[in-house]
């Protein structure tokens, strides 16, 4: 079974631009979560989507948004990029059929904002 895939793996943007990151979950998984990882802040939860609905949201500004499609693939969008948005963005998928939340992570997209 294929793992979680994220595209692109690397991205360089300039301040003020916007960016869209994509995540394809493991087949059968309906929950997709997004995290931002930086050396200073560690792993921070952005949001979670389940069956095309946002179920949980972290403490990030409205510039960070996402969506999930009917095939469970998810996209994350960041508008008006700032230097501080440079980070590794990780996507994780899970079955989310019971109270456990074992997540399987993709390799991440490394975003550099210049």
Q: Binding residues for other proteins, per CB under 8 A?
A: 4, 6, 31, 33, 35, 42-43, 45, 48, 55-56, 90, 92, 96, 99-108
Query: Quick one: 60 or 79, whose CB is closer to other proteins?
Result: 60
Q: Kindly state the smallest distance separating residue 48's Cβ from other proteins, in Å.
A: 7
DSSP-assigned beta bridge partners for residue 56: 48
Angle at 112 between CA 105 and CA 87, to 5 degrees: 40
Q: Kindly state the smallest distance separating residue 56's Cβ from other proteins, in Å.
A: 6
Query: Quick one: 66 or 106, whose CB is closer to other proteins?
Result: 106
Q: Kindly state the smallest distance separating residue 63's Cβ from other proteins, in Å.
A: 21
Closest listed residue to residue 81, CA positions, set 14, 11, 20, 22: 14
In angstroms, rounded to a whole number, what is the distance separating the alpha carbons of residues 51 and 61?
Answer: 23
In angstroms, rounded to a whole number, what is the distance separating the alpha carbons of residues 91 and 35?
Answer: 6
Query: Quick one: 13 or 110, whose CB is closer to other proteins?
Result: 110
């Amino acid at each position: 079974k294929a793992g979680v895939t994220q595209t692109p793996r690397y991205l360089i943007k300039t301040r003020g631009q916007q960016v869209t990151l994509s995540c394809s979950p493991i087949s059968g998984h309906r929950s997709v979560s997004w995290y931002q990882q930086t050396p200073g802040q560690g792993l921070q939860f952005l949001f979670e989507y389940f069956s095309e609905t946002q179920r949980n949201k972290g403490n990030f500004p409205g510039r960070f948004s996402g969506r999930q499609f009917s095939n469970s693939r998810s996209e994350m969008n960041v508008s008006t990029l700032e230097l501080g948005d440079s980070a590794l963005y990780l996507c994780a998928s899970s079955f989310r059929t019971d109270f456990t939340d074992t997540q399987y992570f993709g390799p991440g997209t490394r975003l550099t904002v210049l």
